[in-house]
Structure 1
Amino acid sequence: MSIQSSTTRRRFLSRSAALSVATLAPTHLRSVLSAEPDSANDRPGLALVGAGRMGHNHLRFAKGMCDVVAVCDVDQNHRQKAVQNLSGGKALGVNDYREVLDNKEVDVVYIATPDHWHAKILIEAMLAGKDVYCEKPLTLTVDEGKQIRKVQQQTGRIVQVGTMQRSYLDLFVKAVAIAGSGRLGRILRATASIGGSSGSGPIPVAKVPKWLDWNQWLGPAPESPFRLIADPKADEWHIGKTNAHQNFRWWYDYSGGKMTDWGAHHVDIACWAFREAGQSDALVSIEGNAKMPVPYENGFPTQADQYNTAHSFSILAKMKDGTELHIKSEGRNGVLLEGTRGRIFVSRGDLTGAPVEQLKDNPLPEDAVAKVYRNMPTPYNQHRNHWANFFHCTRERVEPISDVTSHLRAIDICHLANLSARFGRSLRWDAETEQILGDDEMNSLLARPARSGFETKLS
């Protein structure tokens, strides 16, 4: 019997036993019973692809829910450290993610690479029969989202996006439940304050370290030399000002700056609240302004030796029904929802506003938060709940709380906001055709060709 069929049989027997017990259990225990594997034999084999600080640290929230059987990273130091720390030295360590996808012991893949690798690995993992937990954003371009949707529909794989705020039950989920209950009235606008960034100044070309496979790190991104100003206080995660490792986020070749970093979180929450309130999250236009760290011409930076994503910005996105979404770098980090009956502010630290205070005398229905969370298991809170939700959904074959479709609606707004910033002009969007109206120059950047040899396998 193959490993995959053996694992499937174990899960079927284990799940059947769990269901028989759950039917006899009190309601408040049933969600807990179905949240985690029932035994070590039922734990899925997980492969980590991208063992930097994000991937390394976030896997601690999945402890006890899976077995790390493989680690892939193009940084030899990161790879070896993760193999030791996450599996006690037992996991297979590889440089090429394709070895992970061919591995029959791997049931699920956790993608924590820089953003420019996300879509390619995700698509090929689904085609290889793997379920996937992928850090946000899933995409670097709008076109990649179309490809991901098509392949997920084709394969039926479970994909959880790492927008873990969707599992902050007492904060973001509760805020969305308040909006959905009508306590805010009609939502007029949402403000997502996501912070800005700083420039780097010129970063010289440097010799590639022996422990880094730079060609594989670049992957589908354009050819570029390795750059570095070493930080004397650097640790194993942060090596200094560079176009690699953690600072990939400040280069449009690899990411989208703050807009797709914190924007992926807060724009998602705003759009979720719109939908729960029965309103539209279908974008129609974007306008605003942004300050760039280097000059731009025809949407591209004119200097290639330093960070180039937007420093600061104030972007106004309008939805089909007139609802406004303001994305800005200034202000306290969080999401402000303003409606005809009240306003609330939610962050990772608090949930405030008159409608929240009124819950003391007029609480939400007992099941309001659970309904927003699709009545799925909630045995933990925050990050750990998000992982439990993923593994629950892989066993039950149901859509996770951070699903592909809703994530792409939100992250496409962020991608389009970045295009508006890069070109310095507003845009009008057709949500049906997924095209910018009357602007061929901007439309040309909705997709990006992959570097030769790193094209995405689509079948």
Structure 2
Amino acid sequence: MPRLPQPNRRHFLQGVAAVGTASLLSPATRALAQASPNDRPVFATIGLRNQGWAITSKSFKFADFAALADVDSNVLGANVEKTQQKQSHKPDAFKDYRKILDRKDIDAVMIATPDHWHTKVAVEAMYAGKDVYCEKPLTLTIAEGKLIEKVVKETGRVFQVGTMQRSESGQRFLQAIALIRAGRIGTVKKVTCGINGMSGSPQIPVAPVPEELDWDFWLGPAPKVDYRALPEMRKGYGGGVPLYSNCHYAFRNWHEYSGGKLTDWGAHHVDIACWALGVSDTGPSKITPVEYSLPVEYKDGHPVVHDRYNAATSFKIKVDMPNDVEMIITSEGDNGILFEGTEGRFFVNRGKIVGKPVEDLKDNPLPEGAIEDVYGGPVSANHTANFIEAMHSRKQPISDVWSHNRMLEICHLSNIAMRLDRPLNWDADKRQIVGDDQANAFLSRENRKGYEINM
């Protein structure tokens, strides 16, 4: 049976839930932040570079971190030191995440590994009795999403997907959904998700594996290949690693480990679009690759060149959605979402929400409580706070696995359609591609021997 929270944590979180219903923003967050050390949940983070540290650092005010894990000893050591400075006690450090799952004192894990590791770690964590916060995109394949859903249901664990655009960076997006629900643009006919393209790479040669990196463990479930890197170093976010490689920050550019921009930014904007359209529990009927560019040659859906990035660099995908809504996913134009209806249109992204329906709010505001109705209650200003509140209630948080997987299926199918250079018809009930055995073979992937999921 799953391990229940300790009584003192349970009592504390009951108080959080009671306070959280009192207003739209922040009381629950303040209650979490002001809890005594003995009343805070115990977390561990698996995968620490970039986003791993970002979600950990945002959570110190709500949770204590007992352990960290990473296959890069330099990354692990640096984050152990930073964590000790933040919480005044040193977390245990592990290369092998399984040592964290063996710990009985850890209530939940935060997973920020590369995408191809998400499902294995998440499933094993749930069977070990841990609640899970996992970064987006949640899966590498559609079959992985189905497996995670099955295990969440079987174990009763709470599972938050790290699509923070639904909460802490989401006030404009919640307003956008409220506008649509209030009929401010009439019947929605078209939604365009601008998610940017990416650059290809030069030829990336085989290189010595850095001494601090366990390359075989980093590959894990993915096929065994040589480590590749060029000496030029990345600057800014994701710095400290080669600008071009098949590892670390650059993993998103390879289908072996991720899905390019389609699953990176698509996991944000396609999610909001589906939420706004009210189709988070269904899916499209057809995916058509209108135009796109792949940086290497493909044969039968697989790249034939293995020393360059292989995810799409530019694209325009047409998606036939329920209720005759057309969705366009494009690498052109502004990053954000354009909603078009029979009575108007507006655009929203993380920096702005603009258009006549927005301007009209000055004289015709949304009904009181419209934002809370979208969110399903008081809005958590922090994604971790929402996760911890769900850990108490044993109800799924704002970014649940079911809605996430349904919208991510659109992104996965878009990649498959480009790789095979043809439209795909999708049965949203059976969650299968219609009449295309070759395409259906891309819905799953066999893990490398020795890295199977332990169930």
Which position in structure 2 is the counterpart of 1:265? Answer: 268
| Change in CA separation of 1:100 and 1:122 when aligned onto 2, cut-off 3 Å | same
Residues 31 and 377, structure 1, Cα contact 8 Å, conserved in 2? no
Q: What SS does structure 2 have at the residue aligned with 1:86? A: helix
Q: Which residue of 2 aligns with 1:87?
A: 84
SS at the partner of 1:321?
helix
Deviation at 1:37, TM superposition (A): 6.5
Aligned match of 1:422: 419
Q: Is contact 1:204–1:227 with CA below 8 Å preserved after alignment? A: yes
| Alpha-carbon distance in 1 for matches of 2:281, 2:234 | 48
Query: Over residues 44-87 of structure 1, what are the superposed CA-to-partner deviations in whole Å (9 max), with x where a residue is unaligned?
Result: 11111001011112322212101111110000000001111013
Q: What pairs with 1:296-375 in structure 2 (closer than 5 Å)?
A: 296-375=298-377
Other-structure match for 1:274: 277
Aligned to 1:116: 116
1:209 aligns with 2:247: no
CA shift digits 1:288-316 (9 cap, x unpaired): 22110001110000101110000100000
1:404 aligns with 2:406: no
Unaligned runs of 5+ in 1: none
Amino acid at match of 1:209: P
Mark the CA change 1:372 to 1:18 in structure 2 (over 3 Å): closer, same or farther: closer
1:424 Cα deviation after fit: 0.8
Sort the Cα spacing of 1:250 and 1:33 in 2 relative to 1 into closer, same or farther, 3 A: closer
Q: Determine if contact 2:17/2:389 at 8 Å carries over to the other structure.
A: no
Unmatched segments (≥5 aa) in structure 2 = none
Q: Distance in 1 between matches of 2:227 and 2:280?
A: 46
| Structure 1 residues 247 and 28: alpha-carbon distance in aligned structure 2, compared to 1, 3 A threshold | closer
Q: After TM superposition, give the deviation of residue 19 of structure 1 in Å.
A: 6.6
For each residue in 1:340-387, what CA deviation from the matched residue of structure 2 results, as whole angstroms up to 9, or x when unmatched? 111111001001111111111111111000111110343x3xxxx212
| Change in 2 beyond 3 A, CA 1:350/1:28 | closer
Say which of 11, 17, 25 aligns to 2:9.
11
Deviation per residue, 1:392-451 (Å, 9 max, x gap):
111222221111111001101000000001011101000111111111111111100000
1:5-47, Cα deviation, whole Å (9 max, x unpaired): 6x51112333455677789x78878655665573221211111
Distance 1:387 1:227 in 2: 35
- Does the 8 Å CA contact 1:283/1:319 hold for their aligned counterparts? yes
- Corresponding letter in the other structure for 1:393: A
- The secondary structure found in structure 2 opposite 1:68 is strand
2-side partners of 1:335 and 1:407: how far apart? Answer: 17
Correspondence for 1:253: 256
Q: Residue 282 of structure 2 contacts residue 429 of structure 2 at CA under 8 Å; is this kept in 1?
A: no
**TM-score when normalising by structure 2:** 0.93
CA distance in 1, matches of 2:280, 2:70: 42
Q: Secondary structure at the match of 1:362?
A: coil
Partners of 1:280 and 1:98 in 2: how far apart?
Answer: 33
Q: Using a 3 Å threshold, how does the CA distance of structure 1 residues 405 and 163 change in structure 2: closer, same or farther?
A: same
- For residues 217 and 199 of structure 1, the distance between their equivalents in structure 2, rounded to whole angstroms, comes to 23
RMSD, aligned CA: 2.1
Counterpart of 2:93 in structure 1: which amino acid? Answer: G
Shift in CA distance, 412/22, structure 1 to aligned 2, threshold 3 Å: closer
State percent identity of aligned pairs.
46
Quote the residue 1:57 is aligned against.
54
CA distance in 2, matches of 1:438, 1:301: 23
Distance across 1 between alignment mates of 2:43 and 2:310? 35
Match of 1:160 in 2: 160
Match of residue 292, structure 2, among 267, 290, 293: 290
Displacement of 1:226 after TM fit?
0.3
Distance 2:387 2:54 in 1: 17
* Structure 1 residues 432 and 255: alpha-carbon distance in aligned structure 2, compared to 1, 3 A threshold: same
Distance 1:19 1:219, change over 3 A: closer
Shift, 1:164, TM fit: 0.8
CA pair 270-455 structure 1, distance change in 2 beyond 3 A: same
With the length of structure 1 as denominator, give the TM-score of the two structures: 0.92
Q: How many positions carry a matched residue from both structures?
A: 446
The answer (yes or no) to whether the contact 1:53–1:237 under 8 Å persists in 2 is no
2:206–2:229 CA contact under 8 A, matched in 1: yes
